[in-house]
Structure 1
Amino acid sequence: MLSRKANKDSHGQDSSYFEGWQEYEKNPYHPIQNPTGIIQMGLAENQLSFDLLEYWLRRNSNTMALLKKDGVSAFRELALFQDYHGLPALKDALVKFMTRMRGNKTKYTSDKLVLTAGATAANEILMFCLADPGHAFILPTPYYPGFDRDLKWRTGVEIVPMHCSSSNGFRITREALEEAYQLGQELNLNIKGVLVTNPSNPLGTTMTKTELIHLLDFAIDKNIHIVSDEIYSATVFDSSSPTTTPFISIMEVVKERNNNNLNNIRERVHMVYSLSKDLGVPGFRVGMIYSNNEMVVAAATKMSSFALVSSQTQFLLSNLLSDAKFTEKYMEENQRRLKRRKEMLVRGLRNAGIGCLRSNAGLFCWVDMRHLMRSDSFEAEKELWKRILCEVGLNISAGSSCHCSQPGWFRICFANISEDTLQLAMQRMKAFTNSIFSSANHIIYNM
């Protein structure tokens, strides 16, 4: 009686990533009401700077509450129908905000921007624009588990994993790109492009210029598209030390390389952005597509009618983002807080005998627990993940849910919980690893 889509279990929610969320919802931690509950460390949400946003809202409460524009009520204008192109004021504020946050290295213009209800909708719309059912995109692993749902479920587009290794910090290489392309051909898939996240989710690292050049050269050689998901671009909290890489947008490299106009690559590079991570307002559902391809912008704008942002939300954010003095101070303070919180997590894990991949961005760390597993296998990884979820009471994301090719890596989020909760989580983890190390020593001692 139902459609094939409704009957088919292809949503992507059969991974441990979603299973952990379900277990958390049954038994969520609360410091008073449920102190032994599961602590949510699988949610990449930025709750560290709400006080700054609330301060701005209080200071501008009359304008926001009364929906005033230039001292005159804008209620009727906002309450009535708005076309799917979005409010010009928000689009103008967004491109100016992105230009400032990217150090004015690339100037963005509103005519190349399409508003969507979050980055989820933006990525899906791009798949609809760039590929047909059965076509494929290459994604470097590990990648965000939700892409299996966002990119594939309704579009029919396939994902070809490009396996990156811990031996070089999971960096993208030309060899890995070629191997993934060859795999796609062996599977009789038409490769339409490569999708990357920069900064990476789940690695928390920024792509080097060398990686971006490899990506562009590959796209030029294969005559395919590039989609760069840059929703964590303003969470980069360390870009000055010799061991870290500053954030470089794909659009910046395209601008440099486009002098030769090689194979029209400029029109085959598309960017996704949102305010969910950088500004910490995922509930507002504000995302966008940015493209130099006029046909993509036109088609995506039409498709955005199915994923609109409310006019009231657009009005509020256009005012907030237009306050350049506030947004610059907000970003500086938010990055400082993210760095401090990330360092707390790294110290806590180190105290528990656990190391992390060196990172400089995002709301999470990529954590190495290979030494805690009984064997080098994905079965052992899932066993360890279940113990941490059920015995330790921490919901973290197993590397296999991110399609990591090496078992034993996990993503742990740090910006969605309080400092006290993070400290408790690290106490639990230390007690757990102490028990593992003690058991191992006991076995060795008695052999």
Structure 2
Amino acid sequence: MLSSRGLDNVQQLGLPWRFSPTPTYDPESNPTGLISFALAENRPMREEIVKYINQKVEFTLDSVSYRSSAKTTGRLPAAAAAHMSRIMKTYTPIEPEHVITADCPTSLGSMLGYNLAERGEGILVNRPVYGRFELDYGVEAGVQIVYADTATEEAFTPSAVDKYEQALTAAEERGVKIRAVLLVNPHNPVGRCYPEETLREIARFCNEHKLHLISDEVYASTVFETDDPTAVPFTSLLALDLRGLIDLDLVHVLYGFSKDFASGGLHLGFLISQNEHLRQACKMVMRLHSPSQVAVTIGTAILEDQVFVSSFIKKTRERLAAGYRLVTSKLDQEGITYIKGGNAGFFVYIDLSPFLPDDGVSVREREFALAQKLVDAGVFLHPGEEHSKDAGWFRLVFSHDENTLEEGLRRLLSVLKPTGNYVLA
């Protein structure tokens, strides 16, 4: 027999499309394999990071030990603090002692849920938003993700705070205590950055209600140039002078290697918080979520080599800009609606509601049916995962090499517009 927690988690495995299929496409060895436009991975830059690791990283006895020796134990927190201070342009430099290192930001989210809220309590987010937060904060901690019903455009404006207020009140009326607000900045899946004014208003809201403010900034260095004059530059929460806006013990920022350094498999993440009690609580849970010493060795080598980091980020931004131009030009050409103003992350948020099958079943089942048609054509977009207020919106990940991206778009359009010249051979 399983515990109630175990039974609840097992039920997640039975939810349709809860977990995405594995991409199998290879242009040479498996040209008919599945292309995934769902997995947010910086694929074009993986060769660069692997080459660096093979050529530049030297493993030591520390790399296979339980923990670093006294001589090297502070290197990674110091290097991470300096790196994050640079890319986030923090108002004051991040102190190494304010950095908690874990195996990934996902684990850190779970730890925040565990330490900031009781089981059954809530964390407030606007939507659309990255759908796996329900798992990150729910599987171990049992914390609910509570959605504020903002429209996509509205979510980036100060007026979104009104919707946070409404969601907070509604949650507490049904007995759910809200403990924190969670932001994703740059945003996933919309690919935009929050304006300073909006960040300040959300901080004031959190302070007024004594809510923790968690800013997930794992896409901090993936901001790229576009021709869109409305695109908002990235402003980290830590770039603001928060004094007088919010108690600094309520502010927590997440960062990691998975996106900026194309190395999700490395499993290395960071929490920045001035809240000493929270850091101590996280350290107690760290026994279950510590990074491997191999990852610590690799991460330290990378972050201490800022010449490489600068070059890597520059190449990442150039390749993301090229991928974004390719996808949006094709979407414009085909008349497919998407959220404009994107300049960050790996994705475009597209409206496929006109293409949902119209067979009388529920909206969610119609999304699932379209996803299955796409899989049958060899391309996958995750249905319903980003929890849009409106049906039919999908996140399209464009961080692929040009050939894979073009082939995936061809397969996508062969389903959406089968009368065009897109039919698979």
Do Structure 1 and Structure 2 share a fold, with TM-score over 0.5? yes
Which residue number corresponds to residue 278 of structure 1?
A: 260
Assess if the C-alpha contact under 8 Å between 1:115 and 1:286 holds in 2. Answer: yes
* SS state at 2:18 partner: helix
State how 1:102-121 maps to structure 2 within 5 Å.
102-103=88-89, 105-121=91-107
Give 1:32 shift.
3.9
Q: Choose the corresponding residue for 2:36, options 34, 40, 63.
A: 40
Give 1:257 shift.
3.2
Q: Distance in 2 between matches of 1:405 and 1:355?
A: 16
Which residue number corresponds to residue 290 of structure 1?
A: 272
Report whether the alignment pairs 1:247 with 2:230.
no
Give 1:122 shift.
0.6
Give 1:140 shift.
1.3
Which residue number corresponds to residue 443 of structure 1?
A: none
Report whether the alignment pairs 1:161 with 2:147.
yes
Counterpart of 1:324, as a letter, is: Q
Q: Choose the corresponding residue for 1:347, options 326, 329, 339.
A: 329
State how 1:19-418 maps to structure 2 within 5 Å.
19=19, 21-22=20-21, 24=22, 28-57=24-53, 59-60=55-56, 64-65=57-58, 67=59, 74-75=60-61, 77-82=62-67, 87-103=73-89, 105-166=91-152, 168=154, 171=157, 173-238=160-225, 242-253=229-240, 256-258=241-243, 260=244, 265-358=247-340, 359-373=342-356, 377-390=363-376, 392-398=377-383, 400-415=384-399, 417-418=400-401
Assess if the C-alpha contact under 8 Å between 2:90 and 2:236 holds in 1. Answer: no
Q: Distance in 2 between matches of 1:240 and 1:99?
A: 28
Q: Distance in 2 between matches of 1:11 and 1:436?
A: 40
Answer with 1 or 2: which has the greater Rg.
1
Identify which range, 355-364 or 365-374, moves more after superposition.
365-374
Give 1:285 shift.
0.5
Give 1:178 shift.
1.0
Q: Percent identity of the aligned residues?
A: 24
Identify which range, 149-158 or 104-113, moves more after superposition.
104-113
Give 1:34 shift.
3.7
Assess if the C-alpha contact under 8 Å between 1:219 and 1:265 holds in 2. Answer: no
Counterpart of 2:385, as a letter, is: S
Give 1:401 shift.
2.0
Q: Distance in 1 between matches of 2:50 and 2:147?
A: 41
Counterpart of 1:191, as a letter, is: I
* SS state at 1:111 partner: helix
Assess if the C-alpha contact under 8 Å between 1:231 and 1:274 holds in 2. Answer: yes
Which residue number corresponds to residue 441 of structure 1?
A: none
Give 1:171 shift.
5.0
Report whether the alignment pairs 1:428 with 2:411.
yes
Stretches of structure 1 lacking an aligned partner (at least 5 in a row): 68-73, 439-447
* SS state at 1:342 partner: helix
Change (3 A) 1:104 1:187: closer
Moved over 6 A (4+): 83-86
Assess if the C-alpha contact under 8 Å between 1:204 and 1:361 holds in 2. Answer: yes
Which residue number corresponds to residue 445 of structure 1?
A: none
* SS state at 2:129 partner: coil
Identify which range, 423-432 or 362-371, moves more after superposition.
423-432
Q: Distance in 1 between matches of 2:420 and 2:148?
A: 35
Q: Distance in 1 between matches of 2:127 and 2:312?
A: 32
Q: Distance in 2 between matches of 1:275 and 1:9?
A: 27
Q: Distance in 2 between matches of 1:105 and 1:217?
A: 18
Aligned residues: CA RMSD: 2.6
Q: Deviations over 1:344-387 (max 9, x none)?
A: 12223333331321211111111112222356944433332222
Counterpart of 2:8, as a letter, is: K
- TM-score, structure 1 normalization: 0.86
Give 1:312 shift.
2.3
Assess if the C-alpha contact under 8 Å between 1:364 and 1:414 holds in 2. Answer: yes
Counterpart of 1:3, as a letter, is: S
Identify which range, 51-60 or 34-43, moves more after superposition.
51-60
Identify which range, 131-140 or 381-390, moves more after superposition.
381-390
Assess if the C-alpha contact under 8 Å between 1:11 and 1:149 holds in 2. Answer: no
Assess if the C-alpha contact under 8 Å between 2:115 and 2:282 holds in 1. Answer: yes
Change (3 A) 1:166 1:50: closer
Which residue number corresponds to residue 442 of structure 1?
A: none
Stretches of structure 2 lacking an aligned partner (at least 5 in a row): none
Q: Deviations over 1:2-56 (max 9, x none)?
A: 322223346644555435x23x56xx33334443332111100012223432443
Q: Distance in 1 between matches of 2:292 and 2:368?
A: 41
Change (3 A) 1:83 1:167: closer
Change (3 A) 1:52 1:78: closer
Q: Distance in 2 between matches of 1:311 and 1:149?
A: 26
Q: Deviations over 1:94-136 (max 9, x none)?
A: 1111112123544111100111110111101111111111211
Give 1:83 shift.
7.1
Counterpart of 2:162, as a letter, is: E
Q: Distance in 1 between matches of 2:41 and 2:349?
A: 16
- TM-score, structure 2 normalization: 0.90
* SS state at 1:235 partner: coil
Q: Distance in 2 between matches of 1:314 and 1:298?
A: 20
- Greater helix share, 1 or 2? 1
